[in-house]
Amino acid sequence: MTPDEKTLQAAYAPLRQELATAVPPAGQEAGLLAAFRQQHAPVSRWQRLVQWVRQDRGLYLSLGGSCVAALAALMWLRPMLWNETQALQAAPAGTLAPTASTELTTAFFPLGDPARIEAAQHARMVRVSMPRASLAAYGLPVNPELADEAIEADLLVGDDGAPLALRFVRGKYQLI
């Protein structure tokens, strides 16, 4: 033991003595026992459920609740979705047909000889923007108020870069 440690050990003695007399407040035990009794008191089913939710199950319940809410929303929207799908499916070729959930497209209009489409080994689709007036060339109605605006279209392009077919695209709630 170094001289410093000896000095420290000597200095500790009165502190240890004082520490030996330090005790927590006398009333603390009674308070803790009351808390213990409360913790272990018999609880009703409802209280048990509330306790269960307050603990770590809240997350699972909220996830479950979200699933139920999503299912309910789906059930509520189902008739509307069903009607829209039916209407779109019933539309004649060349007019609107459903594709992705966020946009509607027409069927493809062949450009030139339709046999070229079948003959093409590979084709790729390119999204282009066209004058809205070009709808008329394919027998589609053009809204005069929107005639100056552009409309998007998917161009089916063959191996040689030549366009094979075309379809018009619109947002789900966008007017053609």
Which residues contact another protein by CB under 8 A?
4-5, 7-8, 11-12, 14-19, 21-25, 28-29, 31-33, 35-37, 39-40
- Residue closer to another protein, measured from CB, 33 or 125: 33
> Least distance from C-beta 89 to another protein, angstroms?
59
**Cα 27 from chain centroid?**
54
> Residue 106: beta bridge partners?
96
Asked if 167 and 105 count as a contact pair (C-beta separation under 8 A), the reply is: yes
- For residue 106, CA distances in Å to 8, 29, 37, 39 come to 91, 80, 73, 67
- Residue closer to another protein, measured from CB, 28 or 174: 28
Intra-chain end-to-end CA distance of the chain, in Å: 95
- Residue closer to another protein, measured from CB, 57 or 78: 57
- Residue closer to another protein, measured from CB, 18 or 118: 18
> Least distance from C-beta 63 to another protein, angstroms?
24
Maximum pairwise Cα distance, the chain: 107
Q: Which of 110, 152, 107 lies closest to 134, judged by CA?
A: 152
Pairing of strands 163-171, 150-157: antiparallel
> Least distance from C-beta 33 to another protein, angstroms?
6
The single-letter code of the amino acid at 36 is F
> Least distance from C-beta 31 to another protein, angstroms?
7
> Least distance from C-beta 59 to another protein, angstroms?
18
- Residue closer to another protein, measured from CB, 31 or 64: 31
